[in-house]
Amino acid sequence: METNKSGTVLVVEDEPDVRDIAVQMLQFTGFKVIEAIDAQSGLEQFKRNSDIDLVFSDVILPGGTSGIEMAKEILAQKPHTPILLATGYSAKAEALVNTAARSDNIGVVTKPYDINKIPTLISAMISNAAEE
């Protein structure tokens, strides 16, 4: 796993073990990480931290707002923000992700994701957004 990445990533994940793995993986490879446990806290963190370069979120989140709905709100505030959504559960989630993935700024990975590939993917998404 390369350890020369840079940028600030907002990780939105309600499962503590999954969030911890994602945070540790990203910090190990050089990213600054901000954590949130649901869409509402993710939106609050996004508003508070203008230096967020990418949002990495689960699709299914507690509290009534999905990762996709959160992504749409973030893109309404800052249209060129890259967003990486992770899903692994239902056909309904897959359908939602397919709809959201029509945006150039939204990428999708399936769980369980490869922790060796995610930092490189995130780095590439941040670089692509910087070129826009």
Considering the entire predicted model, what is its pTM? 0.90
At 48 the pLDDT is 97
Token look-up 């990495």 returns 56
Q: Tell me the β-bridge partners of 83.
A: 55, 106
Domains of the chain: 9-131 (3.40.50.2300)
At 107 the pLDDT is 84
Per-residue pLDDT tens digits of the chain, which is 132 residues long: 566 889 999 999 999 999 999 999 999 999 999 999 999 999 999 999 999 999 999 988 999 999 989 999 999 999 999 999 998 765 655 666 666 656 678 888 888 888 889 999 999 999 988 877
Query: Cα–Cα distance between 30 and 25 in angstroms, integer?
Result: 9
17: which residues sit within 8 A by CB, 6+ positions away? Answer: none
At 33 the pLDDT is 98
At 2 the pLDDT is 64
For residue 33, the tally of other CB atoms under 10 A from its CB is 17
Alpha carbon dihedral 15, 90, 117, 46, in 10-degree steps, equals -50
- By the 10 Å C-beta count (0-12 exposed, 13-18 middle, 19+ buried), 50 is classed as exposed
Lookup: tokens for 22: 């994602």
